[in-house]
């Protein structure tokens, strides 16, 4: 399979874990969220160009947190959503958008944000 002018198997060289949040009642009217592994995937992960917003800071829970945006490319999966995240070498990447390359069901590009809570 060819992605652009490169063979997709040589491009997808990072091993990421896809996770989804499982919510259970806490007995006090709220819930407890726990991240559960869905799959281990081969992916390409690359920072978005510095000409676009490369990094920024956001106010979360009264504290300034920095974030960095990346693009992750994976083989097509039908069960992926923006409520999920990727883990790579101890870093969490929250999925912000999902698009199918050329509207084919072979490659998906995801815009993700590192370093901030969902």
Does residue 2 register a pLDDT over 60?
no
| Domain encompassing residue 21 | 2-114
Q: What's the CATH number where 23 sits?
A: 2.40.10.270
- State how far the Cα of 48 lies from the Cα of 71, in Å rounded to an integer: 6
* End-to-end CA, the chain: 33
pLDDT computed for residue 53 by the predictor: 43
pLDDT computed for residue 67 by the predictor: 62
Q: What is the number of domains present in the chain? A: 1
Distance (Å) of CA 84 to CA 27, 44, 50, 112: 25, 17, 26, 10
Would you say 32 and 55 are in contact if contact means Cβ atoms under 8 Å apart? no
pLDDT computed for residue 117 by the predictor: 53
Given pLDDT bands bounded at 50, 70 and 90, which one contains residue 14? very high
pLDDT computed for residue 10 by the predictor: 67
Does residue 98 register a pLDDT over 60?
yes
Would you say 74 and 61 are in contact if contact means Cβ atoms under 8 Å apart? no
pLDDT digits (tens, 9 = 90+) for 18-73: 999 999 888 888 889 899 999 999 999 998 854 444 445 554 555 555 566 899 99
Q: What is the pTM of this model?
A: 0.74
Contacts of 59 (CB under 8 A, 6+ apart): 65
pLDDT digits (tens, 9 = 90+) for 83-97: 999 999 999 999 999
Helix (H, G, I), strand (E, B) or coil at 11: helix
């Amino acid at each position: 399979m060819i992605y652009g002018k490169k063979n997709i198997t040589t491009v997808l060289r990072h091993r990421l874990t896809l996770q989804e949040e499982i919510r259970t009642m806490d007995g006090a009217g709220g819930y407890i969220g726990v991240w559960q592994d869905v799959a281990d995937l081969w992916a390409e992960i690359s920072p978005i160009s510095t000409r676009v917003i490369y990094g920024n800071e956001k106010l979360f829970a009264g504290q300034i947190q920095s974030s960095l945006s990346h693009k992750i490319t994976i083989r097509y999966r039908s069960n992926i959503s923006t409520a999920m995240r990727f883990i790579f070498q101890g870093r969490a990447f929250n999925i912000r958008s999902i698009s199918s390359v050329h509207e084919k069901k072979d490659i998906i590009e995801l815009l993700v944000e590192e370093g901030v809570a969902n």
